[in-house]
Amino acid sequence: MDSFTSLTSFVRTAETLSFVQAARTLGISASAVGKNVARLEKKLGVRLFNRCTRSVSLTAEGATLLARCQSILEQLREAEAELTTAVSHPTGTLRVSFPVIGYRLMLPLLPAFTQRYPGIDLDLDFSDRLVNVIDEGFDVAIRSGEIGDSRLTAKTLGHFRFVLCASPAYLQAYGEPRTPHDLPSHKCILFRFPSTGLIQAWDLNAYRVTGEFRALSLLTLNNIEAMVGAALSGLGICYVPDFVVREALKQGQLIQILPDYCDRRSHFSALWPASRYLSPRIRCFIDFLSEHWQ
């Protein structure tokens, strides 16, 4: 760094033939420029300038060094311009892992993202298996809940909560539960995590439904979309993230039940390798999601 500072001071002085003008260009004092040049001359063992009271001129060695340095500094300026362009207009392929249900949140954002960053080619993987971000070569993974891998850096994108819901036809046939203690007399649709085989618990304040739960009947599925479809078909009550059934609730195809007991909340995070340099295409993707995540 000292050598680069000294070379920069030398080049600016050589181009202006003035320590004062060089100092103004660099935003430092004339004495600092003089010390930088003197340090460079001492290191190289040659005199770079002929100095007198009223003027400064290059020695033969100084002229030779200037020709070399100007070329190097020009290359550095070009590299800086290229990097600035890369940050403003990132390019390349971006591999992103999502949970299957993530398409509901991501697909509506794709038109705006691809329009803003046309140079980025997206390779999106929707899977509920627990991918290894580093070993499988993903740039970013979007996951819900707490993250236990210390090798990953996480940024929270947005929050959601879980809701209980059923179709109007089901509620007309079986009645609407008034408290969680009414659930054993109902048909319930449970979710089994594909990665672990465990049943997702229903957290209803102090009442908790687990895999040991015994209801009028149980339907167990390992796909959230299938759960919503089963609920729409009147097959029972499901416990799902609110964003999955937002439109169905709005249109009256499903009805939320026991809202006062559904207090469980979670969040989505963007994950990337902690040791990896955050390239412009990764940074712009994460920033875009943070800005637009619903």
Domain boundaries, the chain: 1-66, 92-158+267-292, 160-266
Give how far the C-alpha of residue 49 lies from the chain's centroid of Cα atoms, to the nearest Å: 52
Residue that wins the pLDDT comparison between 162 and 26: 162
In terms of phi and psi (left: phi > 0; alpha: psi -120 to 50; beta: otherwise), the region of 234 is left
Instruction: Note the pTM of the prediction, 2 decimals.
Output: 0.65
Q: Kindly tell me if the per-residue pLDDT of 282 is higher than 60.
A: yes
- pLDDT at position 276, please? 56
More confident residue, 88 or 248: 248
Greatest extent of the chain over all pairs of C-alpha atoms, in Å: 103
pLDDT band for position 94 (cuts 50, 70, 90): confident
Tens of pLDDT along 35-84?
A: 888 888 888 888 988 887 777 888 988 888 888 887 777 677 656 655 55
Residue percentage of the chain with pLDDT more than 70? 93
At 43, list the tokens: 């290191």
**pLDDT score, position 149:** 66
Q: Is 240 exposed, middle or buried (0-12, 13-18, 19+ CB in 10 A)?
A: buried
Q: What is the pLDDT of residues 98-149, one digit of tens each?
A: 888 888 888 899 999 999 999 889 999 988 777 788 778 888 999 887 776 6
Confidence of residue 213 (pLDDT cuts 50, 70, 90): confident
On whether the CB atoms of residues 286 and 153 are closer than 8 A, the answer is no
Confidence of residue 273 (pLDDT cuts 50, 70, 90): confident
Pick the CATH number of 1-66 from 1.10.10.10, 3.40.190.10, 2.60.200.20, 3.30.830.10: 1.10.10.10
Same fold: 1-66 with 92-158+267-292:
no
User: Percent of the chain at pLDDT above 90?
Assistant: 29
Q: Residue 108, CB half-sphere, CA atoms under 13 Å: how many?
A: 8
- Distance CA(39)–CA(29), nearest Å, equals 16
Residues contacting residue 198 through CB under 8 Å, at least 6 positions apart: 192, 211
Structure tokens at 81: 């311009």
Q: Give the chain's mean pLDDT.
A: 86
Class of the CATH-defined domain 92-158+267-292: alpha beta
- pLDDT of 19: 87
Q: How far apart are CA 167 and CA 253, in angstroms?
A: 6
Asked if the 160-266 domain carries CATH number 3.40.190.10, the reply is yes
pLDDT band at 229 (very low <50, low <70, confident <90, very high): very high
Average pLDDT over every residue of 248-275: 90
Q: What is the DSSP string of 252-269?
A: TSSEEE-GGGB--EEEEE
List the alpha helices (DSSP H) in 211-251.
Answer: 224-232, 246-250
